[in-house]
Structure 1
Amino acid sequence: MPEASGGRFLRFWTAQTASQLGQRFGMVALPVVAIETLDAGAAQVGYLTAALTACYLLVGLPAGAWVDRRPKRATMIRAAVVRAVVLAGIPVLWAFDRLSLGWLYAVAVVVGVASVFFDVAYQSYVPFIVPDRDIERANARLESSAQISAAGGPAAAGLLLRAVSAPVVIAVDALAYVVCAGLLATVEDSEPPRERKAGGESRLAREILAGIRFVVGNPLLRRLCVAMGVSNFFATLTMTLTPLLILRTLGLGSTVMGVVLGVGTLGGLLASLTLPKVRARYEAGKVMAVGLVLAGASMAAFPLAGSLAGSLAGSLDESGFVLPVALLVLGQFGMTWGAVTFNIAQVSVRQRVCPRDMLARMTATIRFVVWGSMPVAAVLAGWLGSRVGIVPCLWIGVVGAVLTALPLVGADRLIRSAAPAPDAGP
């Protein structure tokens, strides 16, 4: 990367790393707070996941048009500050014995809404700080730090949970967002200033509709949207029940859960480091399809580990402990390897074919479908898990996830024919 863009990208990269590290702490601590501190069951854990993701259905589309109108860096800073403030409230409420599931759901909703704006701006920001030729390499670096955070964050959170209560661990999440906001304030970019025009409400509706039309009318983006939506649905079905599988079905404890999730996500780091070489040999469509199949097939390790709960019961130093943990680590490793491979490739493809003044609306439209499926899957996971059982529900997630690569058949032909698009104009 050129020196100028490299410096500002480095600061942005560091800010993103801080945010990702704190987010991983929160992903481990929030369900632990619900399960261990507030005695939540499968349905309640499903509601918590739904509260975090339902915001994509509520504000996902308006967020894209809003972000396209305003400086993306300022949007990310505000979103980071909001998340820091509301997450800091959890340990405060807990300290005064005021924390309840209702409060936890409310905090999850606010964090989710702020995350929508942050994520839409984040994925639309890279083309403004690096040249077009460096977009895929920049995305790979961002994903590598995300995976390092995914590996170290849950493991560190799991170890920290041995010393302090889960609500206190969430304070680390809040602090990370403060660091993220401070670093983003130092980044300079090439994004042009946005002019505010009269008729804001009507223009907002037209801009939202323009983003939807662009995605629906583009055959490549349309296929990606379907593949990502179905994949996220079944991945959410699986990951919503994973804490219950580890903590209750297998009885491994929150420390082991953090270590399993952390060590397993080293597969994502490996994917981010090897993807540039893989992409040099294979076309993006094939890489994305293989990534989805690998992610879905690896998820089978979770219900397999659950099936061993009754047949391999034993002490902590026997196979009743070792084999389920090994399966969980292997499954997490393969799932994140495949998911990250797919994600880096598809984000880079989308950023290349979309006009820059349409980036946020394109991202928001796709995320509306992709992330909007998650609350439905989370509630369904809680309902199925409490009725048919955790392990059978996990098998449903595996079968569905493997089938998500089908919409990508023939995607390489569409990618080759998709020239980089100019700005769409006002």
Structure 2
Amino acid sequence: MTTRTGFGLFLTARVVSWAGSTVTAVALPVLLYQRTGSASLSGLLTALEALPYLVLGLPAGALADRWDRRRTLTWCSWSSAALIAAIPAAAALGLLSTVQLMLTGLAVSAVFVFFDAAAFGALATLVGHDGLARATGRMMSASTLIGLIGPSAAGLLVATLAPPTAITLDALSYAAAALLLSRLPLTPIAHVKARSPVRGTLADIAEGLQYIRRHPLIRPLTLLGIGNSFTEGAVVGLIVVTAVRTFGMDPDDGRIGLFWAAAALGALAAATALPRLQKRAPLGWITLGGLAANAAFLACWAASPGLVTGLASLACWQSANALVSLNGIVIRQQLTPGPLQGRINTTARMIAWGGQPLGAAASGLLADAVGVRTALLTAALGALLSLSAGLTTPLRRRAVEVGTSGSALGSEAGKAA
């Protein structure tokens, strides 16, 4: 099997899984809000979905660099399929509970941590270091396109079918992805040869942390992501709540999917603009400017008087938020040695996403206590704090010494987009 065929299988599996997951991304919070009507529980669900990366990111990254990546990807997909399928099964038996919905979000996210760690290494093996930027660009384009179309379709499905029935499609997508991933050309022998000698898990974790700590670009980009993810937790955790309480929709209104579609449109704009920005602007300024725009557009989202302005503000906010995240992710992948891909990327993502569960939980509690708009405006402080911290780092300078990989990145990503 050729490298191109291997990446094609990998990309197809991810596309199938992403398409199914857009249904659950809409249906699960809608189902929870239908049952509880609680902004606090809506925020808690988002917090629980983000929590596993904080707890498991370090060991998952180290272990994924030592395990058979094809087997890890396959079994993670089968496990997710079983967990998701349990929701419609319980609903059909009249046993579905709020606790199960919460625990499912937590468990699927925990499995994803190991999947994600193995996926970083698998992608690097399938396309080689020089092909990473182009492959990542293709995956971003596919992901954002699905994110643009999928939520609107998911909203209609949730409005037409019962949410548990719609969620069945996600379980089927995970099963289909598992079958595709089981055929990846990642044999155990090739996998072992491509990796450094096996050391203790703690030593592997320490190596990943040290790499991030010492890298002059990866370190600040990772730390500034905390404030960025804080706002993401708040916005995502309150999308259904905002739709109901601010825009007067019913919890099962099919138009709720438009909010996820608007966010996907913003992410697509960021992915398209990033390669050109990396050619023309200092890398640090992209992140700092994105943080400033994040806070500004979040204030617009909180103050939006109507659906049209709300969708536009949400799309602009997501564009700024995604720009900060993607700038860090793509640069980190390009600068990380192949044998360290799993632990470096999961460790950095664990740190950068650290604000997400806190933002989701805090904003949910604030929304119930003082209102949705105030909760969202408060969340904007996360981006402003990261911006303030970033202005004290070398990222504020026009020139940052990061080697030649950064300049090559813009060229390759531009071709991909």
Same-fold call, TM cutoff 0.5: yes
2: CA distance, partners of 1:64 / 1:177:
22
User: How far has the Cα of 1:245 moved from its partner?
Assistant: 0.9
User: How far has the Cα of 1:403 moved from its partner?
Assistant: 4.8
Pick aligned residue for 1:23 from 21, 24, 28:
21
Structure 2 residue 139 is the aligned partner of structure 1 residue 142: yes
8 Å Cα contact 1:155/1:263 also seen in 2? no
Q: Which residue of 2 aligns with 1:169?
A: 166
Structure 2 residue 375 is the aligned partner of structure 1 residue 376: no
Pick aligned residue for 2:325 from 340, 343, 349:
343
8 Å Cα contact 2:16/2:173 also seen in 1? yes
Structure 2 residue 180 is the aligned partner of structure 1 residue 193: no
Cα pair distance change 1:12/1:290, threshold 3 Å = farther
Between 238-247 and 179-188, report the one with greater CA deviation. 179-188
User: How far has the Cα of 1:387 moved from its partner?
Assistant: 1.4
Partner SS, residue 300 of structure 1: helix
One-letter code aligned to 2:265:
L
Partner SS, residue 252 of structure 1: coil
Pick aligned residue for 1:359 from 334, 341, 348:
341
The TM-score, its normalising length taken from structure 2, stands at 0.87
Structure 2 residue 255 is the aligned partner of structure 1 residue 256: yes
- Identical-pair percentage: 27
Structure 2 residue 55 is the aligned partner of structure 1 residue 54: no
Q: Which residue of 1 aligns with 2:367?
A: 385
Structure 2 residue 271 is the aligned partner of structure 1 residue 272: yes
8 Å Cα contact 2:65/2:343 also seen in 1? yes
Q: Which residue of 1 aligns with 2:378?
A: 396
Query: What are the equivalent positions in structure 2 for 1:106-255 lying under 5 Å apart?
Result: 106-189=103-186, 192-194=190-192, 203-253=200-250, 254-255=253-254
One-letter code aligned to 1:380:
A
The superposition leaves residues 120-149 of structure 1 with CA deviations (integer Å, 9 ceiling, x where unpaired) of 222333221224333222211111111111
Structure 2 residue 11 is the aligned partner of structure 1 residue 13: yes
The TM-score, its normalising length taken from structure 1, stands at 0.85
The superposition leaves residues 82-141 of structure 1 with CA deviations (integer Å, 9 ceiling, x where unpaired) of 111111110111111111111111211210111111122223332212243332222111
Structure 2 residue 416 is the aligned partner of structure 1 residue 416: no
Give the count of matched residue pairs.
397
Partner SS, residue 243 of structure 2: helix
**Runs of at least 5 residues in structure 2 that lack an aligned partner in the other structure:** 408-417
Cα pair distance change 1:405/1:19, threshold 3 Å = farther
1: CA distance, partners of 2:399 / 2:225:
16
8 Å Cα contact 2:83/2:104 also seen in 1? yes
The superposition leaves residues 68-89 of structure 1 with CA deviations (integer Å, 9 ceiling, x where unpaired) of 1113232222111111111111
**Runs of at least 5 residues in structure 1 that lack an aligned partner in the other structure:** 309-323, 421-426
Cα pair distance change 1:332/1:190, threshold 3 Å = farther
One-letter code aligned to 1:170:
I
One-letter code aligned to 2:400:
R
User: How far has the Cα of 1:67 moved from its partner?
Assistant: 0.4
Cα pair distance change 1:276/1:134, threshold 3 Å = farther
Cα pair distance change 1:373/1:271, threshold 3 Å = closer
1: CA distance, partners of 2:29 / 2:363:
14
2: CA distance, partners of 1:18 / 1:236:
25
Cα pair distance change 1:336/1:378, threshold 3 Å = closer
Partner SS, residue 36 of structure 2: coil
2: CA distance, partners of 1:235 / 1:419:
26
1: CA distance, partners of 2:327 / 2:353:
18
Cα pair distance change 1:154/1:206, threshold 3 Å = same
User: How far has the Cα of 1:223 moved from its partner?
Assistant: 0.3
One-letter code aligned to 2:261:
G
User: How far has the Cα of 1:42 moved from its partner?
Assistant: 1.4
